[in-house]
Structure 1
């Protein structure tokens, strides 16, 4: 591995993170060793759980990522916890596509704001960009954007 990277972000498929945590930890540790040797830092992208699967929930994915980050001393980008915060405070604001697994526009926007907050250590509140791609049935309103930015910042600040 060669390159001039500051940080390398690792992402595991959320079901694998929950159902095969030890393998997730082993592979993360292997990658982390290579990343550190290259002079970069490893971070974990905490995914969200599935919408209607009681086994693969936001909380279970978060717990698995947190345990691994503590074992390996890695920072976490707590996207799944931000999704959980939205689900609890504004359940009508759906973040999922029709399949209940992938992110819709709102989910992608929240995810991007969590990344911004975690990587830059700054609140995304007040960022002007609100995506409005053509063909999207439900756009993000200014109020929703502010709400998602606030949730992203609060989640990053509260994460251990």
Structure 2
């Protein structure tokens, strides 16, 4: 192996770097051993034991002390970002109360009366209802739609259907009234 020609400062910096790496590795091994003993793993002995390695001043702040008695907590489940929709619960509750399939316009009127919204918010309310019904149909599969004729589309709960697209007779009678 060829010898390296290094200046004194480079040599001391390299020694410091590798001593720090050795210290970090030893501390990490101690931490891992502590966690394994807490979890009931095998008691392992660390094969690498070295004496004091720091001979000079170290740069930076001193590292944190690692305690082997720290409790290990389960990671928290990350929630989805953004506000949660208030409309899902309102729409499902209102459909159950009415106990009949309704059109988008009827549902918009019902929810505007229920929530005491002004008439100038009708278009934004209807847009919100359309998007929430879409999400409840496709993602959550709590609602479904069907049509009688070509013009009107009715929204109904999933349990009101015999087969996909076929509403039970008792609910189809309520629509025709």
TM-score range (shorter-chain normalised) is: under 0.3
Structure with greater contact order relative to length (CA < 8 Å, sep ≥ 6) = 1
Flag the structure with larger Rg.
2
TM-score by length of 1: 0.25
TM-score by length of 2: 0.23
